[in-house]
Structure 1
Amino acid sequence: MEQRLANTWRMTVNEKKFIETALLSDLRVDGRRPFDYRRLTVKFGREDGSSEVQLGQTHVMGFVTSQLVQPYRDRPNEGTLSIYTEFSPMADPSFEAGRPGEFAVELGRIIDRGLRESRAIDTESLCVLAGKLVWSIRVDLHILDNGGNLVDAANIAALAALLTFRRPECTLGGEDGQEVIIHPPEAKEPLPLIIHHLPIAVTFAFFGDGNTVVGDRSNSQ
């Protein structure tokens, strides 16, 4: 996927041959072994549901928000989870402002599939009123600097933000018991999401004839 980026195909033939030759000796340009990860740091913001991940030179921020919506007809008792990505032109010369490009859409789909299809989030716990109101959880991922391996960095940023997110507590009231009352945090403690497991993305890159494999590929290799 990241081979589409401009700073990858600008490499000269000699640079590519040098990298491939070094990999045959189990060495990388930055001194790492083939399966060594770059330094990973995870920071949490002051607000619930925010995270900041740095993987080498790759920098991603994650933010989680929620709102009450009508559920899908085929899943009246389940809330929803959606992933959105935003690519800043400052992060990479190939990123353009405006509509998300193919790479941005593909990255969002990969993170979305990893979280939703593994059913990491208990969506049934997001139901407030069956068939009428459920919580919709939205994860916004902002790419601030692209130093390679955006999938793993964005995946960790999304998980870190989800782990610290708290949604408002709400109860049912009114004469018919169908009125939804959303309680402010000072009245009732916000609730964390129920997360069953943590699907961590681990990306590998193949070089040459496909027999040379490395983990955590940076833009230099």
Structure 2
Amino acid sequence: MEHRLANTWWMTVNEKKFIETTLLSDLRIDGRRPFDYRRLTIKFGRDDGSSEVQLGQTHVMAFVTSQLVQPYRDRPNEGTVSIYIEFSPMADPSFEAGRPGESAVELGRIIDRGLRESRAVDMESLCVIAGKLVWAIRIDLHILDNAGNLVDAANIAALTALSTFRRPECTLGGEDGQEVIIHPPEVKCFTF
């Protein structure tokens, strides 16, 4: 993204003229009018916690997983949510394979902040044993095609994957009542 933005300052005369003509004709490059939305398509995966979003030509896949971890000391009753983003070099020529670049880190922060500030995930509901075990939720976002509006597409993908995610049921057992038993998805636990 940063590389792409940097290149917008160095336009040829023909590129500038094309943009001016397009703006004056009330059309965008993709044929939409100035206030037309991109077409949104959401597909839910076979597995819980997965989705595929296409916003215009931008394409993002999301997967949500969880694991039991120790909570942070300053938040012993809250679980965690982490965002991981993979930019495929095939999605955009400016993306590089390997370690996440500044663009991926920035996009991850935007998605993370949006989820936290909107309270889309109840962090206290992720607590299993206060101060000992909480659920750590991981959201993996794979950018498959970048044709603009990546923040919205990634946010929608993260939220739709979260909406279908079901953390595993668990109960406490053992002699001291502090042993966590994780049940498979097909087993439903009821407490009365």
Return 94-103 or 32-41, whichever deviates more.
32-41
Encode CA deviations 1:139-174: one digit per residue, 9 max, x unaligned: 000011111111010010000100001111001111
Q: Does residue 1:157 correspond to 2:168, yes or no?
A: no
Contact 1:54 1:153 survives alignment (8 Å): yes
CA distance in 1, matches of 2:68, 2:35: 43
How many residues end up aligned between the 2 structures?
188
Structure-2 change in CA distance of 1:162 and 1:187 (3 Å) = same
Question: Could you tell me which residue of structure 1 aligns to residue 106 of structure 2?
Answer: 106
Question: Could you tell me which residue of structure 2 aligns to residue 123 of structure 1?
Answer: 123
CA distance in 1, matches of 2:16, 2:141: 31
Encode CA deviations 1:87-136: one digit per residue, 9 max, x unaligned: 11111111111111111111111111100122221010010000000000
Question: Could you tell me which residue of structure 2 aligns to residue 56 of structure 1?
Answer: 56
Cα RMSD over matched residues? 1.9
CA distance in 2, matches of 1:164, 1:13: 49
Structure-2 change in CA distance of 1:62 and 1:129 (3 Å) = same
Q: Which amino acid aligns with 2:128?
A: V
Q: Give aligned-pair identity as a percent.
A: 86
Q: Give the number of the structure whose residues are more often helix, by fraction.
A: 2
Return 31-40 or 120-129, whichever deviates more.
31-40
CA distance in 2, matches of 1:134, 1:167: 11
Q: Which amino acid aligns with 2:74?
A: D
TM-score normalized with structure 1 length: 0.79
Structure-2 change in CA distance of 1:97 and 1:28 (3 Å) = same
**Structure 1 unaligned blocks of 5 or more:** 190-221
Question: Could you tell me which residue of structure 2 aligns to residue 4 of structure 1?
Answer: 3
Q: Does residue 1:184 correspond to 2:181, yes or no?
A: no
